[in-house]
Structure 1
Amino acid sequence: MIKKLKDLVKTKTEEKSNELDSGRVIQLDERERKQTYHEAGFRDSTRNFGDKIALNICLQAIYAKFQNEEKINKTKQNEYNEPYLSEKSEKETEIKTKSVVFDNISEKIEKRKKGIENLKHEIADIPNNPEKYGIDAKKGASLKFWIGIILIVPISIYLITFYVSTSYSAFFKQFEIGDGVMQSILDANAFTKAWSDGPLEGLFVTFIPFVFMGLGFLIHMFGEVKNTSNTLKVISLFIVTFVFDAILAYQIENNLYDLSKSISSPEFSLPIAFQKVAFWGIIFAGFIVYVIWGLVFDFILKEHKEKDKIKMAIDARVNKIKIEKENIDGLEHKLHDIKEDIETIKGRIEELKRLINGVIIPVKEYHLYASEYMQGWITSINQNLHGSFTKKQDLIHECNETYKTHIIEVGSNNEYQNKIFLSQS
């Protein structure tokens, strides 16, 4: 039993020795620590006869001693570092959170970029394979559309020329003996002659071709919706057009007939007109070409509709690409901001590490112990130094000035509580 007690005492002694060897010190009671500094001041003053130069050296020594005591006092250093450790932990958590957000945004950007590439591929492929993308349109609609445009332009010019000439010849032209059928129909100066005859004549021959084109447009519109009513309307329009062409042909033939008829010749009538080749030539030169123009016009509008379907699909994707690029720009701006925030936080963490690895000296607390040291120094001057009262007071004053200078140098007179000696690593 006695042996066990001896071993226990020996173990405790070794543990205490190890603590001292590792730089740890036993925390002194504040009163005991003050007393220690007071006694040190009294003792140092007695040894140096209260000399102010010696005081300055001694103050530097006790400040170094105080720093060393605080440095090896791990409990107090950990207590001082607690706010920095807490902030460091918060900052590290904040970096992890921002890094997750950064990765998520980066993933979104990559997905949007891939989406843009897919949209570009679709834009290039839609004209060739519209059905692949659910577009009810025919392939090659654009090519057919432009072929129709190329065809309808000369046909339209022909119809304008034909109806200007025939309408002028039928209603306003003064025929002369010797005029042939072609001269009656195709009068090169029909337009200028009509306007020279008067504005009414000019307006009539100018706008009558557009009446026929309007009829062609109506035929197309009625033909879009297949039903009995629209079919009858289309047939009626074709009949009206044919009848009007027949009237033009009849009037021209009548004028030509009047020039060549004799006293015994019968009056011009429909049976006579039906026997004239020129009558049917005029009708079909206008009506058949008009039908061709209507069919081409109908074809163009249908192809334009097909083309519009493809164009609308392409435009929708172009707009989507524009929106996606704007979204990417916004996300990249957020990435830039997050990256800057992370760099700022990392800088703060490095600063906190230096603070944590550094030494924190409570300079305000040192002021308390330095003043105790100074009191001991002055007490020694008053008790142990021989001389007049005035001489002692002068020395005390000089020592007090030295003390004040020291306090300013170490920063104990400032507002802050602690001074930090940063680690260089």
Structure 2
Amino acid sequence: MITDLFKKNVATAPQQATTSQSQNNYSLKPQETYNHWGKRICAMVDGSSLTLKAYLQKRYIEMYQKQANNTALQAAERQKIQIQIDQKRNDIAYLDKQLNDSKQREQDVKDEISKLDDDERELKSKVYEVNKEAKIKLILGLVILLPLTLYLFLFYSSTFYSAFFKDFGANANVLNSMFDAEALKKALEASVTELAFVLCAPIIFMGLGFSLHFFAIQKSWTKYVKMGAILVITFVFDAILAYMIGKHLHEMAVIIGTASLDSKYGFSEAVSDINTWAVIFCGFIVYIIWGVVFDMAMSAYSQLDLNREKSKQIDAKKEKLKADIKREQQEQNNLNVQIKDNINAIAELTMILRKTVIIQKPSIKLEMTNFFTGWTTQMNVLGMSQADQDGANDIFEKTVKTLLN
């Protein structure tokens, strides 16, 4: 086939190359590079595309025959391919070991999950068992929570009433503004609406405290943003109440003459007023403590059933183990893909090894490329059009693809 290709294309060489001398002119000269040879031939045939194709095929045939007749090269190439095959087989053996190890780890995890299932069934069959540690936490939490709740109810009902409805007298001060025992009575005497508004104040703040617990038990990272927003809202709410009470106390101080008539009570004055900070911290700090204790009590209540708590722990372990199984299965899939790739590579190398002749395609392509590079350089010198150069490049690409694929 290679010989027929040579005979077919040699007829396309210029008719001037019939004599021995002219043939030598078209041949590669001693110590002449393929790049220079390409320039010289291109100049001699004025960039003929048919001649380009013939010489590319000729060069391929010459190098093919040269490599085919080189017994040392053939032996070296076969040895190189055999080494690659042996390496691929070693890789497959190593990957098989990793695959078996992964399957064993997967089975071990499945056995552990099965044991946990048995433990969970045994727990569910047991009678209710109280978690003593959680019970103590719950009792302590309730003991602390009840007076704190009473404190917050009194504080926020009083501060709401003082901030929005109270008539401040000469004896008004920050203490009786925060803790007015008659706030609910006076609000009821004024109207049912006023009483309802005052009663809603502590409910609002306790609802914010419950929200803190609700967000705290969530698993998403956004819970921190939500908890931060709750704390900011509560602090701002307390600051507004403190400012309004402080402003009322300042106005009363002006009336009774303890403060000058031209004195003002704005933001900067509120910041430097100790009464403002007293109201804020007497409410906000206790609110934070109430929220923490409430969260502790709720957590203790959820852990009160010892069997259920142990069951939750088992479920958490099982979820982690299931994730381990997924990782092992993913690793097994990757290993199977690598093993398959190696098997396919061995099949391809074996097919090459069975061929009569093994050639070094990269070296042949390099020489053909050098020849064509010289050819295109000479085409520029001859001033040939871009269309002619594109046509020559197309011939080169198709010829190389046909011969070397």
Pairwise same-fold verdict (TM > 0.5): no
TM-score range, shorter chain: 0.3 to 0.5
Greater Rg over alpha carbons, structure: 1
